[in-house]
Structure 1
Amino acid sequence: MPNPGGYSLVLNPTIVAPRCTCKFSRVLIDGSSSINILYRDAMTRTIFHGIVPGLSCFPIGRIWLNVLFGTNDHFRCEPLWFEAVDLSSVYHALLGRPALAKFMAAPHYAYVKMKLPGPKGLITITGDYRKSLECARDGAKLAESLVIAEERRQLDRIVALASEIPA
């Protein structure tokens, strides 16, 4: 690992829903977040601040899903509430303090690992620093495109206002 401590903790848990089971490959573990987020899905009336700097977001819903960490022979599965949001993100989901508490998990950001108790002893989940770098790069591109789109909207408004002023 070229830069210990310089990577986000991105893991790939299995999400178990009533009609399907999916292995998510980009789930951000964020111990500083007070909510679990599932991007683009479900139903609530809470307003989020600080998820996207400078913006607030109304969730489109709330969904209860089972999240599974581990291997076929040694795993832990817990039901979690997710706030579903209609935001663009490089991540499929974000697991915050509620998920960490439910799993009694200890994330170690410097080593890109998370440990949690399982039925047969300790479960160690190892992230991939390359995937973390990929997410950071993709996130920077997404942020840049969102900034460019907002600047275009502001420029269009200025041009529209200028054309309304009589010369």
Structure 2
Amino acid sequence: MVLDSTFSIERRTCRFSQILIDGGSSINILYRDTMEELGIKEKQLQPSRTVFHGIVPRISCFAIGKIKIDVLFGDKTHFRREPIWFEVVDLDNPYHALLDEMAGPKCFITIAGDYQKSLTCTTASSRLAESLIIAEGKRLLDRALAMASKQPAMPSNPKDADAGGSFQPSKETKKIILDPAHPEQHAVIGSNLDSK
């Protein structure tokens, strides 16, 4: 559900219109753009070691820090103000923030969301996730190609591979004929071994 909410810090209060409530989430996320609109500087963030998954499929995200912000939902007759810890991430997103469910004093509060806004944000978020997955796939492919280009070229003739390989027989070896009818077929053994 996408709805409006007021975020308040020490010297600034902003009303945001694209707050995603995700009851299945176990983390509250604030995006860098929203942090900057609130006038929060990166040096004001507390350190965070949080790594999370699921915002963009198959891509891990790292928080750049965390901060506590007062969040206000509802109107003057039915509202809830709660200080909430947010993990701040440096990702593009159509939302201003992502929140887990927010409980009222006696139970969960009921707030009406905007279906059209939810649909618009979901579509934009899907496009963004798709482009990030494509970019990650391209990065992995470029890395694989770079690694492949560093490998020595394989010779087309296997005999060339034997001659140019890094494995060289010991000087203390001798050739033994495997079949007298085919003297070209031989084995190399240590010179101290018996030919039988």
Under a length normalisation based on structure 2, what TM-score does the superposition of the two structures give?
0.62
Q: 1:82 to 1:105 in 2, by over 3 A?
A: farther
Which residue of structure 2 lines up, in the alignment, with residue 26 of structure 1?
A: 18
- How many angstroms apart in 2 are the aligned matches of 1:90 and 1:103? 30
Q: 1:33 to 1:61 in 2, by over 3 A?
A: same
The amino acid across from 1:47 in the alignment is V
Which residue of structure 2 lines up, in the alignment, with residue 110 of structure 1?
A: none
Cα offset for 1:105? Answer: 5.6
2:57 and 2:133 in contact (8 A); partners too: no
Q: 2:120 aligns with which of 125, 131, 134?
A: 134
- How many angstroms apart in 1 are the aligned matches of 2:76 and 2:56? 36
Q: Deviations over 1:115-149 (max 9, x none)?
A: x2xxxxxxx52111111110111011101110121
- How many angstroms apart in 2 are the aligned matches of 1:29 and 1:104? 19
Which residue of structure 1 lines up, in the alignment, with residue 49 of structure 2?
A: 45
The amino acid across from 1:145 in the alignment is S
Under a length normalisation based on structure 1, what TM-score does the superposition of the two structures give?
0.72
Which residue of structure 2 lines up, in the alignment, with residue 95 of structure 1?
A: 99
Q: 2:80 aligns with which of 49, 52, 76?
A: 76
Aligned-pair Cα RMSD in Å:
2.3
- How many angstroms apart in 1 are the aligned matches of 2:17 and 2:62? 25
Q: How many residues align?
A: 141
Q: Which runs of 5+ in 1 are unaligned?
A: 1-8, 107-115, 117-123
Q: 2:6 aligns with which of 10, 14, 21?
A: 14
1:78 and 1:103 in contact (8 A); partners too: no
Q: 1:101 to 1:72 in 2, by over 3 A?
A: closer
Cα offset for 1:86? Answer: 2.1
